[in-house]
Amino acid sequence: MSELNSFVLDSFALIGFFQQESHYSRIEKLLQEAKSGHVSLFLSLVNWGEIYYSILRSRGESSAEQALIFIDELPIQIIEINRNLVYNAARLKSKYALSYADCFAAALAKAKDCPVLTGDPEFKKLHEEIKISWL
């Protein structure tokens, strides 16, 4: 099922948003569009966990917990992990030197037939496998 205005977010996109990096305004605009129903945003549960552990390591438990609460308030659909998503992520992992979490974002983008929104240069390896919208 393809949705014209849909994106899979990887952890790079949201962590950068939380830290108000250069792509902050683009993510903020997409979140506003998602809230109004013009865009669908997806995040795999594995990438949700990646955001948590990344913030936990760099900024501590309080910041990590606040990030999860904030994500729950955002117009982002958290996608549970199922056997098919694990299978496709594992196949990507076997083929490319990419983190396992990134493989879940890529597998979800394939499943949703929409681009992954990222600035992570590791995704360049997947340009023939998935659609990528660069931050």
What is the domain-level CATH number for residue 50?
A: 3.40.50.1010
How many structural domains compose the chain? 1
Residue 27 lies in a domain: yes
CA 45 to chain centre: 9
Residue 1 lies in a domain: no
pLDDT in tens, 60-110: 999 999 999 999 999 999 999 999 999 999 999 999 999 999 999 999 999
pLDDT band for 4, please (50, 70, 90 cuts): low
Predicted local confidence at residue 1, as pLDDT: 40
Contact predicate 107/84, CB 8 Å: no
| Mean pLDDT across 40-59 | 97
Contacts of 66 (CB under 8 A, 6+ apart): none
Q: Is the pTM value of this prediction over 0.85?
A: yes
Contact predicate 64/52, CB 8 Å: yes
Q: The domain containing residue 93 runs over which residues?
A: 6-134
